[in-house]
Structure 1
Amino acid sequence: MSHHLSGPNLRSPRDDARLDLTDLFAFTVPGDRTVLIMNVHPVAPSEGAAFHPDAVYRVNIDTDGDDRADTAFSFVFSPPDGGRQQATVHRADGDRARDHRAGGEQLLAGAPVTRGGEDPVVTATGSYRFFAGLRSDPFFADLDGIVQQFQWTGVDWGADKNVLGIVLELPSADLGAGGPIGVWARVSLLQDGEPVSVDRGAHPSLTAYFNAEEVKDAYNAGEPADDRAGYLAPWTAVLQHTGGYDAQAAEQALSTVLPDILRYDRTEPAAYPNGRSLTDDVTSARLAMVSGGKITSDHIGPHTDFLPGFPYLGTPH
């Protein structure tokens, strides 16, 4: 899947779907604004889905190309009370952005989380817009066909699935003067007051194809700045096996996804791997990569339920 079930043995990290990052999106909208979307909780139930109250959900931004966070937006949630939750959003910059705790400037507090069956509740503060709640899963793929060794079924696995979405929209200038940015998401779980990273990622469908089960926890705990040193050799071996690459061609192919940071030049339209829009066919892109171009598509198109405006994600099923 795109990034669903990213713990060992195709399970959620810590066997807790609330901690499972599913997808990350970064695109611009009119008005010179940047949209960041982080989805979690695969196959979220239509009623009762909740964010983990002891988790720190985070979107990290690298603005100077050194593969380290220069700005980080952290999202934390209250314990569910009668099915209701509230969100608090922090922004951290500089060295504080590299601390996995929720810290820095508090942008907003008490933002309502939208439940299933409700219209999206949007919270605005200054030039920021924020949403969190149940939405339809934008991920599309013929997963059964992939499992059946590429005998396509024509069935979109994600067509009727939901996730919990976190959406932040802000002026593009707040993330630098229009230059490229790098984006990745992380989920940390507070244990004895300390954040322990249990999931992270940016590019779709990496850990499922490239990481052996015994290294997935370590990968989820790691930092993108260490990715090339830790994963270039084993991932090269994967591409040599699955796609017939030689070592040089494999290293070139992996240069897009190692480190696992989604690069986005906002002077160009978002189209994966330059950012990621909700309609980008990332499953076909990854299939083409791992197969060495032998498989170019799973023949499943994007969903059509996206909203034309904020929070962009479709109404939940």
Structure 2
Amino acid sequence: MQQSSIKSRRAWIIAAGASVAVLTATVLLGPAMRQSTATSHWDAPATFADKQIDATDLYAFTSPEKQDTVTIVADYIPFQAPQKPYQFDTNAHYEVHVDNTGTGKAAVTYRWTFKNKALPVPSFVRRREHKAGPLDSLVEQSYTLTRLRDGKSETLVQDGYVAPTDMGRLATPDYPSLRRKAVRDLPGGGKVFTGTAADPFYSDNDAVNLLRFGLRFFPVKTGVPMNVSSLALQIPKSELALNGDAAANPVIGVWTTASRKSSDLLGSGSDGYKQLSRLGNPNFNEVIIPLKERDRFNTLRPDGDESGGLVVPSTLDPQQAKVVADKANVMQPPAPRKDLEEIYLTGLTPRLDGPIKEDLNSHLLNRDVSGIAKAEELRLNMSTPVSAAPDKYGILKGDKQGYPNGRRLIDDVVTVNLRMLLGEPAGKGAPGLIAEDNPAFLYKPISDSFPYLALPVTAV
């Protein structure tokens, strides 16, 4: 019995390692394979070639240990090799936007700008007299955090500390102290963290490959054993809510963008900056938007989605739904996909007479909102109670706090998006397509306090 158990554990370990390799290779190949292959880590041809402005994942959820606040995490620069320094672009604006009116326009924007601090690599890499110097010498960059609201700009953080890559015990002997130093209090309440973290993304490999390639793989949940550069905020709900009243107006929409300084402003942008990356709902660009239009989507703002002739028609009749349904040998719901329009563009409420009869996260639930626009945003109802027993499948398992009502770090968004593409929760869909009881191999666990992200992955 014991020998059999050991063999079983070994088999799962081997399978998990193979699945990590498959997931990593799958995502790394990205747009180079074919139309359905890119992931949120590289969701379009231009961001595939430009890692610094590539948004990998966006999270928004009520902070479990401080429930009068919302935590928003925007991750950039995917697939960072352990113990190799990476930098934010010093000629870019990295922004988190919050829409509390349902118009697709940002009511408040948080903007990070970065500058190099002294030389672009730490002193220990330069081997200057074989001295690492003080811990501050390991910091490659500093940042300024600005809040844009009501036509005014307010600096919240000046010369902020960017947590560097964990370069190992010799170079960074007390790395947790650097993480703590990178967490700062904000004026008026809240916190910010900026720096390197272990990539919290994970998914079922079967779901990943089916959603993007139309292929089946061994069903093990795996993480990405690499790092990302994170922008994390913990903000009082009153700061985000319409008219400052989170009880009366609890629903917000969130998205993140990166814009680079440019003289060619064919896309959206301001002050000489052109938007090149956009992320709201996970998987939206690479699954809903046709490949040839994904770069254009990344230049658009949500307030133009309804009239732009791309986002709404792509949502109502996504090409990928037919690809997945054919390969999985299941039925796809017929177009127009009003269920997907609810999920991604309007939020869920019976007031819109859509097929999903759930008062969940539409801006129409806000007392002071009478009409909304169709706009792709990650919508969060801040009044939804924190789940005592959160389920990674969110609304598909009755956990109303889970995705697509915001997104927590534990949500299996690829599986949820796959199942929604095939018709849930509006209809029967194909709930048995992805195994729910398979073991999860997460590379590093998240923490129970802000910024929740795990410390960076190291090579040793």
Regarding TM over 0.5, the answer is: yes
Instruction: Provide the rounded CA distance (Å) in 1 between the counterparts of 2:54 and 2:118.
Output: 22
Equivalent runs, 1:286-305 vs 2, <5 Å: 286-292=417-423, 293-294=429-430, 296-297=433-434, 301=440, 303=442, 305=445
**CA radius of gyration, larger in:** 2
**1:107-155 per-position Cα deviation (integer Å, ceiling 9, x unaligned):** 0111111112232121223323111111111111244761664422245
Deviation at 1:3? Answer: 1.5
- Counting strand residues as a fraction of each chain, which structure ranks higher? 1
Match of 2:344 in 1: 257
Q: Letter of the 1:163 partner, please give it.
A: V
Deviation at 1:68? Answer: 0.9
| 5+ long unaligned stretches in structure 1 | 97-103
SS in 1 for 2:80: coil
Deviation at 1:228? Answer: 3.5
SS in 1 for 2:452: coil
Q: TM-score, normalised by structure 1?
A: 0.88
Change (3 A) 1:204 1:86: same
**1:9-64 per-position Cα deviation (integer Å, ceiling 9, x unaligned):** xx625x12111001111111225111111000110133211111111111100112
Q: Letter of the 2:77 partner, please give it.
A: H
Instruction: Provide the rounded CA distance (Å) in 1 between the counterparts of 2:233 and 2:141.
Output: 17
Q: Letter of the 1:261 partner, please give it.
A: E
1:231 to 295, 305, 311: 311
Is the CA contact (8 Å cut-off) linking 1:59 and 1:72 kept in structure 2? Answer: yes
2:185 to 124, 135, 138: 124
Instruction: Provide the rounded CA distance (Å) in 2 between the counterparts of 1:79 and 1:55.
Output: 13
Tell which deviates more after alignment, 228-237 or 255-264.
228-237
- The answer to whether the aligner puts 1:17 opposite 2:51 as a matched pair is yes
Match of 2:13 in 1: none
Match of 1:93 in 2: 149
Instruction: Provide the rounded CA distance (Å) in 2 between the counterparts of 1:300 and 1:21.
Output: 28
Instruction: Provide the rounded CA distance (Å) in 2 between the counterparts of 1:156 and 1:17.
Output: 25
2:257 to 186, 194, 208: 186
Deviation at 1:232? Answer: 2.3
Is the CA contact (8 Å cut-off) linking 1:2 and 1:23 kept in structure 2? Answer: no
1:48 to 57, 64, 85: 85
**1:254-274 per-position Cα deviation (integer Å, ceiling 9, x unaligned):** 321122101111110331111
Change (3 A) 1:40 1:300: farther
Q: TM-score, normalised by structure 2?
A: 0.62
- The answer to whether the aligner puts 1:68 opposite 2:100 as a matched pair is no
Q: Letter of the 2:253 partner, please give it.
A: G
Change (3 A) 1:2 1:128: farther
Is the CA contact (8 Å cut-off) linking 1:70 and 1:95 kept in structure 2? Answer: no
Match of 2:383 in 1: 267
Change (3 A) 1:7 1:81: farther
Change (3 A) 1:240 1:314: closer
Match of 1:208 in 2: 286
**1:204-262 per-position Cα deviation (integer Å, ceiling 9, x unaligned):** 011111222221111000011222442222331426624422224x1222321122101
Is the CA contact (8 Å cut-off) linking 1:279 and 1:302 kept in structure 2? Answer: no
Instruction: Provide the rounded CA distance (Å) in 2 between the counterparts of 1:209 and 1:162.
Output: 24
Higher relative contact order (CA 8 A, sep 6+): 1
Change (3 A) 1:78 1:143: farther
Change (3 A) 1:25 1:106: same
2:197 to 128, 135, 140: 135
SS in 1 for 2:159: strand
- The answer to whether the aligner puts 1:35 opposite 2:71 as a matched pair is yes
Q: Letter of the 1:39 partner, please give it.
A: D
Percent identity over the alignment is 24
Instruction: Provide the rounded CA distance (Å) in 2 between the counterparts of 1:44 and 1:208.
Output: 21
SS in 2 for 1:51: coil
SS in 1 for 2:344: coil
Deviation at 1:301? Answer: 4.1
Match of 1:161 in 2: 226
Instruction: Provide the rounded CA distance (Å) in 2 between the counterparts of 1:22 and 1:219.
Output: 15
